Structure 1
Amino acid sequence: MKRLNCPCGEHIEGVDEDDLVRKTQEHLAEQHPSHEYSREEILFLAY
């Protein structure tokens, strides 16, 4: 399980890295459309 906490307070969890990246990019598109992060940037922030 991989996790990421968005600065807006949203907690995002994925079953693996691909799932976490997909869910994070969906969250960004819906909640923060002016912010884009690469797969590498998302995984750097994940724990």
Structure 2
Amino acid sequence: MKQNITCPCGEHITGQDEDDLVTKTQQHLKENHPGHDYSRDEILFMAY
């Protein structure tokens, strides 16, 4: 299960599970990178 992702801006995001990781990543994108929306599959592809 993938629970970590590092945004190109340097922010490290950790979730309790894949669903939590996707939610936290999408929230980070919304707050810090408006217009950069990624799907669940795209986020999990970049996650580790």
Q: TM-score, normalised by structure 1?
A: 0.96
Q: Which residue of 2 aligns with 1:4?
A: 5
**Cα distance in structure 2, aligned partners of 1:10 and 1:28:** 11
Q: CA RMSD in A?
A: 0.9
Task: Report which of the two has the higher share of strand.
Answer: 1
**Cα distance in structure 2, aligned partners of 1:19 and 1:10:** 16
Structure 2: 5+ residue stretches without partners: none
Identity of aligned residues (%): 68
Q: Which residue of 2 aligns with 1:46?
A: 47
**Cα distance in structure 2, aligned partners of 1:16 and 1:34:** 25
Which runs of at least 4 in structure 1 moved beyond 2 Å after TM superposition?
Answer: none
How do 1:18-37 and structure 2 match up within 5 A?
18-37=19-38
Q: TM-score, normalised by structure 2?
A: 0.94
Structure 1: 5+ residue stretches without partners: none
